[in-house]
Amino acid sequence: MQNQGQILENYSQQHPQEVLVVKLKIDDELDEVMIFKGFSSSLMRSTAFDPDVPVISDRAEILTIDRLAAPYKPQSPQYIQQAIPWKDFQERICNN
């Protein structure tokens, strides 16, 4: 069974025109993770070089997800949808 990080990475592989920015909490610490074409990278902490080490752990509580148009431009991000609750995003995945 896939964990939530793998679910989001698979979604991003199937939607290469999108970049996901995931706001989450791990052990009472906030983090932001960017996911693009199946790869995740933390924007606030170090990311392991080994792609088999999940960036979003099973302990993570996903708060919201932003969908942005690729390519990502930090100076002028193009939001498709912002602050999507994890439950709503899961429903979106199940309905596609």
For residue 7, the SS3 value is helix
Instruction: Extract the residue ranges of the chain whose pLDDT is less than 50.
Output: none
Residue-level pLDDT at 92: 86
pTM of the complete model: 0.91
Task: Judge if the upstream peptide bond of residue 51 is cis by omega within 30 degrees of 0.
Answer: no
Among 30, 31, 26, 19, residue whose Cα is nearest residue 66: 19
What is the tens place of the pLDDT at every residue in 14-36? 999 999 999 999 999 999 999 99
Q: Tell me the residue type at 88.
A: D
Looking at every residue in the chain, the average pLDDT score rounds to 92
Q: What is the rounded CA–CA span in Å between residue 8 and residue 76?
A: 23
Domain boundaries, the chain: 4-95
Residue-level pLDDT at 48: 73
